[in-house]
Amino acid sequence: MGKPMATRLLQAGYEVTVWNRTRSKADELAPLGAKVAEQAAAAVRAADIVITMLEAGPIVAQVIAAALPGLQRAALVVDMSSTRQSEAQEAHTLLAAHGVRFIDAPVSGGVVGAQAGSLAIMAGGSADDFAEAEAVLATMGRPTLVGPAGCGQIAKLCNQLIVGGTLNIVAEALLLAQAGGADPTAVRAAIRGGFAESRILEVHGQRMLERNFMPGGQVKSQFKDLENVLIAAANAGLRLPVTELVTENYHSVLQRSPQADQSAVLLALENINPGQRLGDLADQLPG
């Protein structure tokens, strides 16, 4: 995700300095005009706006700690990773103590959205800080301020809750179509354009029919996000029974193929319905 996002910034004419824990990944951006820094602190030293895009909250905390000595007072850190709300709030508190501002701005849209500059960007922070960052964020997608620091992560979790749940429902619908004697491919075509139409039915419904589970958005990432949904719900005093079931389905696939595409939740459904399998094509799974 980081590479196409940085590429969009460079194409928009911004001066970009990059750093990655794996130096070779940062070097790929040098031919596009990026400056490559040796250390995180050196990368941020002259920056007014600092963007992080990392795997999970603990890694974000590590990178912020490494960058902290180089951050200018009043710099604006925008973390676009998907983390827990509490982790975003902790980053906000830590940076504020050093006079540094913070926005959590996780995204949805995947690598394709990052390449196209069409990411949904859900930002949590002050209105003034968002106004300062909005033009930069707009080069990568559609930014929306959803509340104070930490609320960007809540919005992303709402997104992942809907995505994860809908993937399960699409799998159930296609398997039901076949078990009931209908052609699942034709059923998918028939219901498209009605109220059941969605990007997930379009893209992941086709993946399920093809049994193409090569990684896009991965099972391990979806499971992590759904676990964070349940943590956020518990912190808010809520129980989300559908999400609990969906999370368990992803957990069962996680044990088998953590890097498979999230549409591989179909495998969990088939596992609890012995003798039922969507189509007769071979599974395409990462090694």
Instruction: List active site positions.
Output: 156
List, as own/partner pairs, every contact residues 251-258 make where C-beta atoms lie below 8 angstroms and the sequence separation is at least 24, other chains included.
Answer: 251/223, 253/219, 254/219, 254/220, 254/223, 257/213, 257/219, 257/285, 257/286, 258/218, 258/219, 258/220
Do 5 and 51 contact (CB within 8 A), yes or no?
yes
Cα distance between residue 68 and residue 222, in whole Å: 30
Q: Furthest-apart CA pair in the chain: how many Å?
A: 66
Pair of tokens at residue 107? 């995204």
For residue 169, give every residue at least 6 positions away whose Cβ sits within 8 Å of its Cβ, in sequence order, or none.
none
H/E stretch holding 78 reads strand 76-79
If you compute the radius of gyration of the chain from its CA atoms, what whole number of angstroms results? 20
